[in-house]
Structure 1
Amino acid sequence: MAEPILEVSGLVKHYPLTRGILFKKQTGAVKAVDGVDFTLAKGETLGLVGESGCGKSTVARLLCNLERPTAGSIRFKGEEITRLSGRALKAVRRNIQMVFQDPYTSLNPRMTVGDIIGEPFEIHPEAAPRGDRRRRVRELLDVVGLDPEYVNRYPHQFSGGQRQRIGIARGLALRPEIIVADEPVSALDVSVQAQVINLLERLQAEFDLSYVFIAHDLSIVRHIADRVGVMYLGRIVETGSDTQIYDHPTHPYTQALLSAVPVPDPAAREHRERIILTGEVPSPTDIPSGCRFRTRCWKARERCALEVPALAVPEAFRHTSGPAAHDSACHFAEEKQVVPVEEHGNGPG
């Protein structure tokens, strides 16, 4: 395999909880991200899925250096970027851009579309000569499927899908190698979601982009992702190709998520097994011992409270070469087909 363009190892982000006004004392920490490992190859799309609050968006901000990690390593093309500052950090940020979740709040309402898309050129003047920036902005509008004549309009004059296209154009302005898309379609209508997903796929082929695609909609992630990482309470609990995760899940949490995916065929919906999790999601300030999913897991045993399961190929599948032989952080992992293969469809588009 080719060398990964992005390597994340032991990534941790804890937010301290303090008490007092003049003399603050730390009383605990919110463990938003608590040991995440993954790699991203050039031209690949890695999907991160999980419940709200599992740490997906925090990972996105850490990758773009919008926040500093508490611990861990992020290497871009072999270079450690977590400790960079000044010009070195500025150069890396040019190559790792972000598309935000909400197209209504991620665009400045006081700026025209031309100024919004052209703002990266003000920060990185070497990317485009001053006299050429207007033309580049119009080209970017055309690339994302908008009329270049819209350059003097304001964000409130566009629909949600059009605003997200503007955000994508801004992300493309500096010709980055990686785009971190933080739930880019969750605020859009279903028909518009399909348009934006298809646009992202076309742009990936056209600009040779690598994506970290964050979402909670499993059908959308399957449509766009080459590999999928399932997150729970700050950690990745299962990772593999889209076929491995969707057709051959081995972690109980992944199986529960897949059982909640809507199935359009009423007959198939009646016959499939629905996994209902009991109990509340633990607080990230008070992580359970051992396996952090054990408080909601129907397979939990005494070992689960004592030992933290490693994210690795389960022992039962280590001597096989089938699709179930992928990394899963469960002591009692077993393959279970939750959603019938014929009922997946192809997602949006």
Structure 2
Amino acid sequence: MAEPVLEVNGLVKHYPLTQGVLFRKQTGAVRAVDGVDLVLGRGETLGIVGESGCGKSTVARLLVSLERPTAGEIRYRGEDITRLSGRALKAVRRNIQMVFQDPYTSLNPRMTVGDIVGEPYEIHPEAAPKGDRRRKVRELLEVVGLNPEHVNRYPHQFSGGQRQRIGIARGLALRPEIIVADEPVSALDVSVQAQVVNLMERLQGEFGLAYVFIAHDLSVVRHISDRVGVMYLGRIVETGTDTEIYDHPTHPYTQALLSAVPVPDPEARAHRERIILYGDVPSPTDIPSGCRFRTRCWKARERCALEVPALAVPEAFRAVGGPAAHDSACHFAEEKHVVADGNRPG
């Protein structure tokens, strides 16, 4: 892996549940993120996938310091940014920008596109001289494939894909090193998704960006990611390269996700084993003991209820090595071929 630019250790975010009006008393907590470890290399794309409600977007907000963690560290180039505030935090935020999920609500409808893309220069005036900002905004619009002559238009005059390009241009304005993309294509049509993903890949090469790419669409994540982390109920349950995760999954949850990927070939679809998970995702206010996936897992044993599995290379693969020897938080991890050759997502 390339030189690490972002390291996350034991990241936790709990939202307290309270009762009472005059005397508020905490009765529990929503454990949205409950011990996440991540490493992002320079110029790398780290994909994070999982079901809705697993904590992906909370991780995104924590990485860009929109929320403060309950515990844990987020280190940017060795410095723990969770302890920063004021000017020090403002300086770090210049290097870690975000592209939001919804292109319709992430842009101020009362501001022109020029003002939206140029707003980071008002917050960080050292990034561009005042007389040069308009030119830089036009250049950014052109870089993301928009007509720079439309700088005075308003967001409602653009399509969804064009609005997301505006959001990407705003994220690029300060020339950041890291962009956290929180499901940036989930609200777009499939054909527009491909255009935006291809744009992000091109910009990564031009600007030397590192991405944390969060999505629930497995095919999109595989297309753009170098490494992938699979998240379930506030924790990473499996992580590895895109080939290791998609072609050699060892965690039951990852295998179930991959088995749900649509296969265009009817013959391959007919011979593929479909893994169906029964039951609902447990509430983040009442996490199961031991392995949090055990209530829906067909491999669950008594040990799963008593012991929390570590995110590490399973013992069965340590000696033999190979692509199955990657981190997986399962006591009974085993490789399972889920996606047929020639019909892989992406």
- Establish whether TM, by shorter chain, passes 0.5: yes
User: Does 1:196 find its partner at 2:196?
Assistant: yes
| Cα-to-partner distance string for 1:11-61 (whole Å, 9 max, x where unaligned) | 000000000011100000000000000100000000000000000000000
Distance 1:227 1:201 in 2: 15
Q: What is residue 315 of structure 1 aligned with on the other side?
A: 315
For the residue of structure 1 that corresponds to 2:14, the secondary structure is strand
Give the Cα–Cα distance (whole angstroms) in 2 for the partners of residues 233 and 271 of structure 1: 31
Query: Deviation string for 1:171-221 (max 9, x for gaps)?
Result: 000000000000000000000000000000000000000000000000000
1:1-349 paired onto structure 2 within 5 Å: 1-344=1-344, 347=346
Question: What is the CA RMSD across the aligned residues, in angstroms?
Answer: 0.6
Cα deviation code 1:215-238 (max 9, x no counterpart)? 000000000000000000000000
Q: 3-state DSSP class of the match of 1:27?
A: strand
Distance across 1 between alignment mates of 2:320 and 2:138: 53
- Asked whether the equivalents of residues 11 and 71 of structure 2 are also in contact (C-alpha less than 8 Å), the reply is yes
* Segments of 4+ moved more than 2 angstroms: none
Offset at 1:3?
Answer: 3.1
Q: Which amino acid aligns with 2:332?
A: F
Q: CA deviation at 1:321?
A: 2.1
- 8 Å Cα contact 2:304/2:331 also seen in 1: yes
Q: Normalization by structure 1: what TM-score? A: 0.99
Q: Which moved more, 1:336-345 or 1:149-158?
A: 336-345
- In the TM superposition, residue 344 of structure 1 has moved relative to its aligned partner by 1.3
Which amino acid in structure 1 is aligned with residue 269 of structure 2? R
SS class of match (2:108): coil
**Could you give the per-residue CA deviations for residues 232-274 of structure 1, whole angstroms, max 9, x where no partner exists?**
0000000000000000000000000000000011111111000
Report the Cα distance in structure 2 between the residues aligned to 1:68 and 1:56, rounded to whole angstroms. Answer: 15
Q: CA deviation at 1:125?
A: 0.1
SS in structure 2 opposite 1:201?
helix
SS of alignment partner, residue 94 of structure 2: helix
How does the TM-score come out when normalised to structure 2?
0.99
C-alpha separation in 1, matches of 2:59 and 2:168: 19
Q: Which amino acid aligns with 2:301?
A: R
Does structure 1 conserve the Cα–Cα contact (< 8 Å) formed by 2:60 and 2:182? yes
- 1:2: how far off? 4.2
How many Å apart are 1:83 and its aligned residue? 1.0
Aligned residues, how many? 346
Q: Would you say the 8 A contact 2:2–2:44 is kept in 1?
A: no
Aligned-residue offset at 1:342: 1.4
Specify the SS of the correspondent of 2:52.
Answer: coil
* SS of corresponding position for 1:268: helix
For residues 238 and 144 of structure 1, the distance between their equivalents in structure 2, rounded to whole angstroms, comes to 33
What's the CA shift string for 1:49-108, capped at 9, x where partnerless?
Answer: 000000000000000000000000000000010010000000000000000000000000
TM-superposed deviation, 1:320 = 1.8
Which residue identity lines up with residue 134 of structure 1 in the other structure? R
- Secondary structure at the aligned position of 1:228 is classed as strand
Q: Is the contact between residue 201 and residue 224 of structure 2 (CA under 8 Å) also seen in structure 1?
A: yes
Q: Cα 1:271–1:2, aligned 2, differ >3 Å: closer, same or farther?
A: closer
Secondary structure of the residue that 2:82 maps to in structure 1?
A: coil
AA aligned opposite 1:143 = V
AA at the equivalent of 1:133: R
Cα distance between partner residues in 2 of 1:56 and 1:189: 22
